Amino acid sequence: MNIPESLKYTKDHEWVKIEGTKATVGVTDFAQNELGDIVYVDISTVGQEVSEHSVFGTVEAVKTVSDLYMPLTGKVLEVNKALDTTPEKVNSDPYGEGWMIRMEVKNAADAANLLTAAQYKELIGK
């Protein structure tokens, strides 16, 4: 199970890479493994401010559809367009080419509420 130490995590299994006031968000290796083969990613919140814990999109796997939750309040700046044609990148490279959105973080101090890699490992029992 790949859980990079350099990232922050949510209890809803999203990862966050914070760089100043910007952040990249995706689903964790654990989440993509639990979902199975991902066949579609639907994110239509570009340009919108979305509150922490609110749904910013969905991910569809062969047997299920799962909501994607904002890890921090902020504006969705960009969606990974590569996922339109190759959603399986979420399975093969969840922390790299399988990223979901880039966002502008409204309040960087809120990142203190995110989980560290150690806390996330404890959450998922690894």
* Distances from the Cα of 32 to the Cα of 19, 79, 91, 118, angstroms: 24, 18, 6, 19
122 three-class SS = helix
Residue pLDDT, tens place only, 10-48: 999 999 999 999 999 999 999 999 999 999 999 999 999
* Domains annotated on the chain, with CATH: 8-107 (2.40.50.100)
pLDDT in tens, 107-118: 988 999 999 999
Read off φ and ψ for residue 101, nearest 5 degrees. -135, 160
